[in-house]
Structure 1
């Protein structure tokens, strides 16, 4: 569908800020879809220098400059959109493995601080090697290997003990949560999770369930996790359906109900033994994970005290014309095929034909009562239209909205001070 035809198809939508407007079809601000070289020079190179998403403070510019230059040279003029998954991951595997070996050498020599920093540096490389999507239905052997090495590097960093290192202030463990009443489509009967807690523990620490996004799995948001752990929270971090280690995709609209119940049951069981607060659990959905956090707010409204919905899809995203547009807007690469795979579709066109069944409005979920929602995003979001966030304020039990002018997806970096204030305020 041409941009003109798509614009005509959505012209009957009025009163919206992004979906169905000229902004949906304006590709002029997003040159990085033209080639891998432009992805690096116009978007990623500036971001890696400041350690901003999809990178972090452990990402080294020189590592990514070498990898992206190699990719761009070998595939001159080729877009990263819908790029071959094995070919993409293969360029990150050996550089990441070399850094991982260096970290292991530091570890063996007792240089713990260097080992931690280098483990996390290698994890940053592996993480982009799985970008923009990996899940248990992936057909890419290279990405599967990259994901396993990403976890190895991250878990090694979090488990290494030092005398001075910041990560020594946290208790970290990997857990397999029993997946009770798992649907037949589930690839496993456990739900892998990470638990990160402050050390020494508070008398009664409150729990935040973080739900990862389309491309940011439980090895990713350490900076966010460390900030809330420093406040005294314990974080239970899981991958959203269709990504990372989650044993189900998003294909069955009711399949995740048992997933969230199993996770919350396990948290409830652990409250006494671990000294966790008996108060309700908080949830924080990141990007595509925010969509699942809205579902959680309806399914488990009695047990979840509040949900921070950070950059969500809810309704307008699930239109074929939006999916086609999103491949040329703010997201770094192809959004359409990536989100389709998270929902269990390897054919993006099949997903486009079926996508309206995943609208939370069409499912009737938005009009059900739910727990308290705080919704934040950037007004210029063009990964998912900002209208999906605004819609939550007028449905069901409503939502508190905080929308950041001039910012795109998730409202970053302007949202960062608010996030700190928000989580501190919930401790009073």
Structure 2
């Protein structure tokens, strides 16, 4: 391939690679202090002692049990404080403490939880199960509350599971007489249902409902990770459930796919073009990110840890080698012809210097199927934060408006 748009950064080993000490001191300490990805909703004072312990004990493998165990004492302390706050009739304080505990558990089970894992044999899965519990305790006092529901996977086939766990948050004013727009959040490789608090706050404040669903091959998703079409069946079942809720305006449903979820947002813009008012693909891969050239260097780039092994399992491969060799021809939205179909409105957002998925994966989409929209930020990395967020909300406000103009491809 011609030189990548990220230039010499493609061949660069990023400075945070190699040790937890390097990661903390060159990247994550700043992120934690500012409560930005992946520390959003977290508190710096919770993480500083954890990472000092990891550094002092030379624990550098984030996939190890030793890494995850280092976080648990802080979680125990936050949960105990939350229980005391509840006993003293301070539910808001308890909610805040449970929220902080959930974020600590998020980083403890980082960077990936497989649907095939079990809490009896996987400490990361056990941490994720606990994260969901404390997160729902935090969300139980929100107004409106966020609720967990388990819905039937009515369109399941092959190796799909029978049920889909989702999070739902609905404005209090929503009713059959006053149905509201809905944003379907498709989560990412490392960010799952309990990791989108601020996003649900922003959505609810605009008078929209939100449904949060994990993508195939991650967390609790029942879709067969090895079947490219399992995602289509997943959205069919979710949309069928949503259509049964009279407070949802099914004429105004938009998708927001986050990071690895951006791939599914692009796909859904074609496969479900008649079901969605629009799709936001935020930090999306589509084709090149699955190619051997990109995969030969991606572990050196901005992602905190190695990513190819997690991607391999997420896409249903038994080894990273098999994934690198074969995934593109099976899952590429270009090679499989998925995006040569018409599409509903599709907005792609990213940073031009994305080192997780190349900006070329957004640009190539303009040469396939129907017209697309895009906004790409010079000098910015994966997702184009923070500049991409206002663009996403403004676009969704237009797409979900009751007075939106009808655009046809």
For the superposition of Structure 1 and Structure 2, which TM-score range results when normalised by the shorter chain?
over 0.9
What is the aligned residue count? Answer: 396
Contact 1:374 1:401 in 2 (8 A): yes
SS in 2 for 1:279: strand
- Comparing 249-258 and 401-410, the one that deviates more: 249-258
**CA deviations over 1:159-187 (Å, ceiling 9, x no partner):** 13xxxxxx22x23211112102313323x
Contact 1:171 1:199 in 2 (8 A): no
Give the drift of 1:105: 2.3
Instruction: Please report the TM-score for the alignment, with normalisation by the length of structure 2.
Output: 0.92
Structure 1 equivalent of residue 406 of structure 2: none
Of the candidates 236, 242, 245, which is equivalent to residue 267 of structure 1?
242
Structure 2 equivalent of residue 382 of structure 1: 355
Structure 1 equivalent of residue 375 of structure 2: 402
Give the drift of 1:406: 1.3
Q: Judging changes above 3 Å, is the alpha-carbon distance between structure 1 residues 371 and 420 closer, same or farther for their aligned structure 2 residues?
A: closer
Q: Judging changes above 3 Å, is the alpha-carbon distance between structure 1 residues 171 and 426 closer, same or farther for their aligned structure 2 residues?
A: farther
Q: Judging changes above 3 Å, is the alpha-carbon distance between structure 1 residues 323 and 121 closer, same or farther for their aligned structure 2 residues?
A: same
Structure 2 equivalent of residue 364 of structure 1: 337
For structure 2, the 5+ residue unaligned runs are 402-409
Give the drift of 1:410: 0.5
Of the candidates 207, 222, 237, which is equivalent to residue 232 of structure 1?
207
Map 1:338-353 → 2, pairs under 5 A? 338-353=310-325
Q: Judging changes above 3 Å, is the alpha-carbon distance between structure 1 residues 214 and 46 closer, same or farther for their aligned structure 2 residues?
A: same
Of the candidates 169, 176, 179, which is equivalent to residue 150 of structure 2?
176
SS in 2 for 1:374: strand
Structure 2 equivalent of residue 92 of structure 1: 71
SS in 1 for 2:16: helix
Name the CA distance, whole Å, in 2 between partners of 1:263 and 1:197.
16
Name the CA distance, whole Å, in 2 between partners of 1:94 and 1:252.
39
**CA deviations over 1:58-101 (Å, ceiling 9, x no partner):** 3111211111111122226x4x4xx4332322222332232123
Matched, 1:52 2:72: no
Name the CA distance, whole Å, in 2 between partners of 1:108 and 1:24.
54
Matched, 1:25 2:6: no
Give the drift of 1:300: 1.2
Contact 2:252 2:400 in 1 (8 A): no
**CA deviations over 1:279-300 (Å, ceiling 9, x no partner):** 1421000000110111212221
| Aligned structure 1 segments of 4 or more residues deviating by more than 3 angstroms | none
Contact 1:284 1:290 in 2 (8 A): yes
SS in 2 for 1:31: coil
Q: Judging changes above 3 Å, is the alpha-carbon distance between structure 1 residues 236 and 287 closer, same or farther for their aligned structure 2 residues?
A: same
Structure 2 equivalent of residue 152 of structure 1: 133
Contact 2:185 2:257 in 1 (8 A): yes
SS in 2 for 1:327: helix
Instruction: Please report the TM-score for the alignment, with normalisation by the length of structure 1.
Output: 0.88
- Comparing 33-42 and 243-252, the one that deviates more: 243-252
Give the drift of 1:46: 0.3
Matched, 1:104 2:90: no
Structure 2 equivalent of residue 62 of structure 1: 45
Name the CA distance, whole Å, in 2 between partners of 1:95 and 1:201.
39
Name the CA distance, whole Å, in 1 between partners of 2:228 and 2:331.
7
For structure 1, the 5+ residue unaligned runs are 1-12, 161-166
Structure 2 equivalent of residue 333 of structure 1: 305
Map 1:165-244 → 2, pairs under 5 A? 167-168=142-143, 170-186=144-160, 188-201=161-174, 203-244=178-219
Say what the alpha-carbon RMSD is for the aligned residues: 1.7
Matched, 1:304 2:276: yes
SS in 2 for 1:173: strand
Give the drift of 1:326: 1.0
Q: Judging changes above 3 Å, is the alpha-carbon distance between structure 1 residues 94 and 345 closer, same or farther for their aligned structure 2 residues?
A: farther
Give the drift of 1:416: 2.4
